[in-house]
Chain A
């Protein structure tokens, strides 16, 4: 037995050493991967944090007709119709922000009838079936309508968020925006896909 253990011990130890070495290699590989990830700046922000930022940024690239604001100090209202998916990111994004001297305000609506003064309106996906009715109600009012609902831009909405491989792209229905007297900056159009509704 003593002989056996004597002859097996080195092999055992060797296996132990190998296991430690393997663990070390694995650990350093993991560290490397993490490090590479950091170096590549692949820090992923939550989807609705990015979308909240985009909603806020629209204010810099869209011009509203003068009649859309009571005066030069009137805040720009970002509305959310239906369930709010932003988990507070929208309020966080606009806090203390100003664009061209204007502050921001977030309002939440349960139905389209509640919307009085609103400049950018995010229409929650849950609105789904009632979307046509909502859009018909808002037609030609100077409200930039935004949603991530499939087919939103084709159905008469203005801007749709399209999630494509962890990136958020924009689809713009320029005709709908122009009909509502909104001027979309050519710089915004550059980074978006322009959608023309069928049958028009």
Chain B
């Protein structure tokens, strides 16, 4: 039986079902999209807060060239498994301390990029100026976080929407 031969009642029901399905799909997609966007925003602000706190603590290690102390401070990032790499650059842009210790070569930018936090090549990265309040810049902190947390949330909301 072709669509043309369906009774009018059945056609109306089919149309209603189709429209409701479409609306539901669009709403779910919008919701998942919004969640994705929101989570990325939250993740960026969380990393920037973490960056600012760490930068405030590493001023003296940079000012007095104590790389052992800088490494110790960076090692506190172990508490967040999503942070995959971190580094401190001195005032001249030279690499000063890195995290973790066994980081493969080339995993870090050779020189600091422009200040700020952004999503780049499947990672959230940030360059944070290091300075004491009211004083000149002492260096730059680099942080890189994987997006596993974003993907996990996305999967979960996908499952809920389905």
Interface residues of A, Cβ cutoff 8 Å to B: 41, 43, 50, 54, 57, 59-61, 97-101, 167-170, 185, 187-188, 190-192
Contacts and interface: CB of A to CB of B under 8 A. Distances in A.
A41 B94 contact: yes
Given A41-B95, A43-B94, A60-B59, A191 B64 contact: yes
Contacts, number: 51
Nearest to A43: B94
B77 interface: no
B135 A191 contact: no
B146 interface: no
A170 B135 contact: no
Given A99-B135, A191-B69, A170 B59 contact: no
A54 B65 CA distance: 9
B72 to A, nearest CB: 9
B1 interface: no
Interface in B40-99: 57, 59-61, 63-66, 69, 94-96
8 contacts: A41-B96, A61-B59, A61-B60, A61-B132, A98-B134, A99-B134, A168-B64, A191-B66
Given A60-B63, A192-B64, 20 more contacts: A54-B63, A54-B64, A57-B138, A60-B135, A61-B59, A61-B132, A98-B135, A98-B136, A99-B135, A100-B134, A101-B134, A168-B64, A168-B65, A169-B66, A170-B64, A185-B60, A187-B57, A187-B59, A187-B60, A191-B66
